[in-house]
Structure 1
């Protein structure tokens, strides 16, 4: 009788343990560098916008400093180990570079925006999916949003970019804004999706000959977003790694202090830092 009871108990414990696999991991975002993130979400490890080149590999965008400005502090093999998905918001070199193409398993599921569909057809990646609007993958709904990568003439040069919203039962809603300036459309997305976290590329990047026209949010535009962010915590990334990003972490922190915005509302991670969600 005791043996039978023990067998049943062990069976129930094992069944419960297996039921919890993939659901016990706390969701988190780790900033690797620049806009490269590892999102642990609904038990999945998702690599976003991998720029994996060593310091100085690209040269300079503004003719000032070699880019990337800093090395990776995490080994590439650790970044790419046990990945479930790669998500590329757009294919500018600081979001998807040759080092990433080389390092990533070519069979890994890779999601991309419609503007980059033909680009990925020309690569060795064998499991690419173009997200036109929304897709459900491993229990996660991933919805694409438009990211306006500048204004006026410089926008014509920058081309299309995208943001993405992640939702899943029992998980926080995350709005990855992407390479975008602050627009009415982003404001409407915040109202529509009511995110718990908003990841903002806050580097205030400027292209040569367009010094008055940021192509992504700067400190002032990030403050505008924060003021309309509702319940969401805002995570500022895309800083201190590419020479045309003039809004640094210190600049953003100083601006937040002027607006009396604390670290309970605006999180500015360092390279390698993980934020538990």
Structure 2
């Protein structure tokens, strides 16, 4: 049996209350980690109109979903908690870390999974505001959270594995037509992954990313699913657990000499 070395470690998963994020929370909890599921307490789709330009399938499901997820995993007694924060706020990182560490202890693993996505997002409909919203959550917040992690681990630099970061990108980051703000902000996240990996290597902090292909998190209709399957060489779309398992691997002891990498988890899509 493989020992991932994650038992007892504190993991912060942003956007951890739904879709891929919730699968990541479950996967770390299954390894015996102490997990904080971050959420944005946004309105949900039930009987409400989405904000202008925002698709409901990309709005985080809020506090209730986080609380339900945590309760299903045993709650605080099992070392799993929900913590809210708006990552679009520039000073969110220190407060989020303080809240997690007050309940679980020092964060060892940061998973930057939370994302912002809008429609329309085409080149002829770009605005400074929409670009700003994408970049604040998809690129700036992960950078600030990573910097916060690094500031809090100097006393563990002698440890074998003082900390690590896993960023969640997209396998379309290289070129994402009709999703310009989202795609370019994820490309920036991948560039940050490589730069931060080099900057933090001497401290023993690893920084990697996963790049998911098409994943069914509930938003794909049967028509969309049928089309997506034709684009994936392995013949199926992804499930959240496919991405979660890759994230756990990159955070594990087995990936101890891997840093600065973007791992495509996409069944061959976009190769």
Q: TM-score range by the shorter chain?
A: 0.3 to 0.5
- For normalisation by structure 2, the TM-score amounts to 0.38
Name the one with the larger helix percent. 2
Larger Rg: 1
Name the one with the larger strand percent. 1
Q: Which has the higher contact order (CA 8 A, sep 6+)?
A: 2
